[in-house]
Structure 1
């Protein structure tokens, strides 16, 4: 395994773990702040949008790369 492969796998695994951890953080934030259904939807919507942008960037890098 080359260093580039290790870095790629590490980014995907650690990035995925970070995304899961952020979901727990947002859920806890929504509960503690009593955000309600709409507030929780907005918080998760913003997190989902950030994840979507990351995935789209990876797709473009793969297509153009």
Structure 2
């Protein structure tokens, strides 16, 4: 396995783990602060938009390179 392949797989695996950990952190933060349904929705919406922005950037870069 060359370095580029290892870096690609490492990024995908570690970033997925980080995103799952962030979901847990936001959920725990919402529960401890008693945010309610609307507060939890806003917290997860903001986290989801950040993740979608990152994924959209990667997809756009993939299309532009090909």
Q: Which TM-score applies when normalising by structure 1?
A: 0.98
CA distance in 2, matches of 1:56, 1:63: 11
CA distance in 2, matches of 1:61, 1:8: 14
CA distance in 1, matches of 2:10, 2:19: 14
Q: How many residues align?
A: 65
| Unaligned runs of at least 5 residues, structure 1 | none
Q: Which TM-score applies when normalising by structure 2?
A: 0.96
CA distance in 1, matches of 2:2, 2:62: 19
| Unaligned runs of at least 5 residues, structure 2 | none
1:48 corresponds in structure 2 to 48
